[in-house]
Every structure is written in C-alpha cells, then in structure tokens.
Amino acid sequence: MNVLTVMLQGGGDFSMIIMMVAIFAIMWFFMIRPQQKKQKEIMNFRKNLSVGQEVMTAGGIYGQVKSIDEATNVVVLEIASGVKIKIDRNSIYANAAQSATN
C-alpha cells in the first residue's frame, strides 16, 4: 500500500518507469529478437548438414562436406581438389550457395 501511495503522489517516477519499460521493449524487438532468430536458423542449418553440401566456415573458407562425425562434431571439408580439412561443426556458418547471392 505504501509503494502505491508513493507512486500516485509522485507521478514523475511512474512515468519514468513506463519510459524504461518502453525502451526495453523497443530494444527487444529491434535488436535482441532478430539476433536470436538468426542464431536459431544457424543452429538448424548446422544440425541438418549433409554430405556433399557446399558450405562456408566462420573463417570464410568455402568447401564441400565430405564426411560428418556425429560423436565428435567434426566435419571434413574438401576445399580444393584433393585438399581436405577437419573443422568443428560449430564453425560452419552458412550455405555457400546462399552466401554467394547475399
């Protein structure tokens, strides 16, 4: 009851609280929510990787998936004819076909 009385008497404090909530809501919808959506898309892409798929790593290396070890989360990429590298599945960033068009 005491807090309610203080809020009713000091209208400026209540409007400041409303302003802070509004700023947080704006930040949520324009900054945090789109980033979470993008992260979810990347996680689904990594989970659905398949052999033969063209991908790009977080370091910008383009290659074709040759094998996937589910137990250790290691992916073997062929980056040139006969050149294969092992990378962690979490360092795969995007589909190479989509990256080239963007």
Number of domains forming the structure of the chain: 2
Instruction: Return the CATH number at 90.
Output: 2.30.30.140
Whether the predicted model's global pTM rises above the 0.85 cut: no
Q: What is the pLDDT of residue 63?
A: 92
List the domain range (segments joined by +) for residue 28: 2-44
Question: Are residues 11 and 38 located together in one domain of the fold?
Answer: yes
Residues comprising the chain, all counted: 102
CA atoms lying within 13 Å on the CB side of residue 78: 10
Q: Give the pLDDT score at 95.
A: 78
**Residue 55 and residue 40 in one domain:** no
The amino acid present at 65, given as its one-letter code, is V
One-letter amino acid identity for 55? V
What is the pLDDT tens value at each position of the chain, 102 positions in all?
Answer: 555 565 556 555 677 788 888 888 898 888 888 999 988 988 898 888 889 999 999 888 999 999 999 899 899 999 999 999 999 999 998 777 665 555
